[in-house]
Amino acid sequence: MSEHRYILLLVKNNAGVLHKITGLFVKRGINIETINSGECNLKNIIRITVTGIWDEYTTDQLIAQLKKLFDVLFVKELESKNSIIKELAFIKIELNNSEENGCEESKIKELAEKLNGKILEITDKNAIVQFVENPIEISNKISSMRAFKVLEILRTGSIGMNKGMEI
Amino acid sequence: MKINGATIVLETLKRLGVTDIFGYPGGAVIPIYDALYDFEGVKHYLVRHEQGAAHAADGYARTKNKVGVCIATSGPGATNLVTGIMTSYMDSIPILAITGQVSSESLGKDSFQESDICGITAPITKHNYLVKTIQELPRIIREAYSLAKSGRPGPVLVDIPKDIQLQKISIEEFEKNWLYQKKLLDKFKRKYIEKDIEIFRDMILESEKPVFILGGGILSSGATKTVKKLLKRVSAPSVSTLMGMGVVPSNFPGYMGMIGMHGIYTANKAVEESDLVIAIGMRFDDRIVGNKNSFAKNAKIIHLDIDEAEIGKNIIPDFSIIGDAREILNKLLSLDFEKDFSQWKNSIFKRKTEEAHQLNQVSVLNQINTFIDDNTIIVTDVGQHQMFAAQHLKFGKPYNFCSSSGAGTMGYGIPAAIGAQIANPDKKVIAIVGDGGFQMTQQELILLNQYSLPVKVIILNNNALGMVRQWQELFHNKRFSQIDLSINPDFMKLADAYGIESLKISDRSSLSSIEEAIKNNKPMVIEVLVSKDFNVYPIIPPGKDFKDTLKGA
């Protein structure tokens, strides 16, 4: 069954490594929803989280093929129930103080607080709100933010870490 | 004393045991060709198109079970290798491709003859490298060479910018970097426990009608002797894929021949009727399987392969063992077990001998059968003749059959035969090609003359693109679209232009003259005129299963 799945990779920090990884998906006509990479605790090793909507066969095939890449050192599927999966989002909204709207600055502060968001910038014209949540929560919160005029949305895509002692 | 990057390339190859390389010079590899000018120990063969270099390296690798090396310049030189690299990739053949690249500071500026060959070949290589410093050059070439051969073999490409070929380091620094080896991570670790071998044995013991499918992995693993021992121990029947031709001799007890779309009818039938399929070093290609829902539907399937990603990719096995074929089968043999499947084997084998042989292309191959021996290597191109060859030719020894199986690359035949002959100077190499494929790489013929390579090129000329014609006849209402090659060049004159002797056979009575022609120690082009409406049978239509086999007339 196709559902949101998360693949964790540890790869050597060599030029072109991301190309080789994404190429494996391209070759099979498989879509990547989000991909994140960055440094980790190991020297010269990059940690990558790839997400997409795939079935079990596709995910198993991808993992088996990824393992074969020379630069790839470790691959596993993160199971959402055993993992912390989070995403970062910025939402920029327009503020329109008027007699009709009232003071939108205070309204957004109130809403952000209620939604567990953080205000990164606020002027009398706009505000940027940050959320760090799991992807479904982020979507819900973005919907709530639509009470205001949304100018920009930025989502980083998911990153994940296994709970417990194991990687 | 200093040594430049270009010489490092050659010196490293030499130390790795490379004696022959195939290539074509150009702007971005001039330093390497300059180093080659008076370099001793590595012989270079000048092909006439880079594709030929890759195929020659491939033919060299297949028939010698050793890494083949090819070299090309940047840009179009490198892209011309691509078809050959892909051919090796599809059949897991170890080749090392070295390409020149524009100078480091010109990278990414759309410089003259620049191409992102690492980007282009990423999906068709095991791994590739863009060399960034001269210090890492010896290590990379060494690593690339072992990588090509290790685990599941395949092509590896090293792209070397021109400035790195020209830079110099001291001999001491070179020696230090040559010795520096990163530990290669074993990407193809065995993944089984002793218990698995016992399960494997028990599944064989519990079966009544087992069939072994022999794949090319047995050849790359060097497991042919072990396989023969196992088959003899249990007297079980076997079949092979196209890549597995030669694992056992054609006359091996219980060997039924090739299976698949154009497989021997009785071989396919054996798989259909079996209750246990033991697939070794093969990947259930769609040309083998046909309809995957009905493939070997009465059988349990055991899949042995070194590549975990192959398990369950095309066919989901009932049981699998991941590891090297020779190692696993030796472990199996070391378990004490006896079983005799000879009754089952004989019952299906009897049917095989009842099959009648047909005329035409087949009669040419039967003629060839009368004189080929363990010292003969057969190289084919791609198409009808390839399937005829796989069906009808008799092989004794492994590594004597060379054919582009997975990729189906037309034009493979002549350059691969050149590579095979250079790898095996004491063997007789016969290239069987069609009139279509021949014209794709005919320029390489000149090498037979230039390097006195006694390759015999047999053109089965049916004045058509036969396999496509056959599909159009069978599946597209005989709408013969763009397959007619009635206007072909005069192959005799063409051979003459290349300074090669030739022979034309247009009737059956003169077929026997092939043997005479092949006996001599000179290159030869032999054209045999055959009928264009002679189809390859049996054929299982694409996506269909065994019961839909078309047997033909």
Q: Is B245 on the interface with A (CB under 8 A)?
A: no
| C-alpha span between A106 and A101 (Å, rounded) | 11
Q: Is B17 on the interface with A (CB under 8 A)?
A: no
Looking at the complex, report in whole angstroms how far the Cα of residue B317 sits from the nearest Cα belonging to chain A.
Answer: 14
Beta bridge partner(s), residue B156: B96, B127
- B residues 178-207 lying closer than 8 A (beta carbon) to A: 185, 187-188
Report phi then psi at B159, rounded to 5. -105, 120
The 10s digit of each residue's pLDDT in B409-439 is: 999 999 999 999 999 999 999 999 999 999 9
The conformation of residue B538, written as its DSSP 8-state character, comes to S
A16 and B118 within 8 Å at the Cβ level: the answer is yes
pLDDT of A98 over the 90 cut:
no
Q: Is B292 on the interface with A (CB under 8 A)?
A: no
The ipTM (two decimal places) reads: 0.86
Q: CA angle, corner B38, sides to B35 and B39, nearest 5?
A: 70
| C-alpha span between A54 and A57 (Å, rounded) | 8
Q: What is the model's pLDDT at position B352?
A: 67
Contacts of B314 in chain A (CB under 8 A): none
Closest residue, chain A, to B131 (C-alpha): A15
Cα B164 → chain centroid: 33
Beta bridge partner(s), residue A155: A89
Best of B90, B118, B157, B305 to mutate (most A CBs within 10 Å, chain A): B118
Q: Which residues contact B343 (CB under 8 A, 6 or more apart)?
A: none
- Stretch B271-296: mean pLDDT, rounded? 95
- B residues 480-499 lying closer than 8 A (beta carbon) to A: none
Closest residue, chain B, to A28 (C-alpha): B123
- Stretch B281-302: mean pLDDT, rounded? 95
Contact B83, B412 (CB under 8 A): no
Which of helix, strand or coil describes residue A24?
Answer: helix
pLDDT of B214 over the 90 cut:
yes
Q: Is B163 on the interface with A (CB under 8 A)?
A: no
The single-letter code of the amino acid at B445 is: L
Please, what is the average pLDDT of chain A? 94
Closest residue, chain B, to A19 (C-alpha): B119
B187 and A60 within 8 Å at the Cβ level: the answer is no
* H or E stretch at B34: helix B30-36
Task: Choose the closest CB to A70 out of B118, B126, B312.
Answer: B126
Give the pair of three-digit tokens for residue A142. Answer: 């973005």
**Bond prior to B538 in cis (omega within 30° of 0):** yes
Contact A145, A111 (CB under 8 A): yes
The 10s digit of each residue's pLDDT in B311-368 is: 999 999 999 999 999 999 999 999 989 999 999 999 988 876 555 444 478 888 989 9
Instruction: Give B498's pLDDT tier (boundaries 50, 70, 90).
Output: very high
Give the start-end residues of each E strand in B32-124: 43-46, 68-72, 95-101
Contacts of B123 in chain A (CB under 8 A): 23-24, 26-27
| C-alpha span between A22 and A30 (Å, rounded) | 10
A-B contacts at Cβ under 8 angstroms: 40
Short-list B114, B302, B303, B336, CA closest to B204: B302
Q: Is B2 on the interface with A (CB under 8 A)?
A: no
Q: Is B34 on the interface with A (CB under 8 A)?
A: no
The 10s digit of each residue's pLDDT in B26-49 is: 999 999 999 999 999 999 999 999
Edge-to-edge strand list for the sheet holding B20-23: B43-46, B20-23, B68-72, B95-101, B156-161, B127-130
What Cα–Cα distance (Å) separates residue B418 from each residue in A106, B384, B399, B402, B428? Answer: 81, 22, 15, 11, 11
- Stretch B266-289: mean pLDDT, rounded? 95
- Stretch B496-503: mean pLDDT, rounded? 97
Q: What is the model's pLDDT at position B512?
A: 87
Contacts of A71 in chain B (CB under 8 A): 127
Closest residue, chain B, to A74 (C-alpha): B187
Catalytic residues of B: 50, 112-113, 162, 467
Contact B430, B377 (CB under 8 A): yes
The single-letter code of the amino acid at B421 is: Q
Which of helix, strand or coil describes residue B456?
Answer: strand
pLDDT of B277 over the 60 cut:
yes
| C-alpha span between B33 and B122 (Å, rounded) | 26
Which of helix, strand or coil describes residue A43?
Answer: coil
What Cα–Cα distance (Å) separates residue B475 from each residue in B260, B467, B479, B543, B550? Answer: 18, 12, 9, 12, 12
Closest residue, chain A, to B143 (C-alpha): A70
Contacts of B313 in chain A (CB under 8 A): 61, 64
Give the pair of three-digit tokens for residue A138. Answer: 């982020």
For B277-297, give one letter per residue: b (16+ CB within 10 A) or e: bbbbbbbbbebbbbbeeebbe
Q: Is A23 on the interface with B (CB under 8 A)?
A: yes
Q: What share of chain B is helix, strand, coil (3-state, %, to 5)?
A: 40, 20, 40
Looking at the complex, report in whole angstroms how far the Cα of residue A149 sits from the nearest Cα belonging to chain B.
Answer: 42
- Stretch B458-471: mean pLDDT, rounded? 96
Q: Mean pLDDT lowest for which of A100-104, B176-180, B210-214, B405-409?
A: A100-104
Q: What is the model's pLDDT at position B358?
A: 45
Task: Choose the closest CB to A68 out of B119, B309, B312.
Answer: B309
Contacts of B308 in chain A (CB under 8 A): 64, 67
Q: What is the model's pLDDT at position B360?
A: 74
Q: What size, in residues, is chain B?
A: 553
pLDDT of B272 over the 90 cut:
yes
Beta bridge partner(s), residue B254: none
Closest residue, chain A, to B132 (C-alpha): A15
Helical residues (DSSP H) of B91-193, grouped into ranges: 117-121, 137-149, 162-166, 171-179
The 10s digit of each residue's pLDDT in A53-91 is: 999 999 999 999 999 999 999 999 999 899 999 999 999
Q: What is the model's pLDDT at position B553?
A: 62
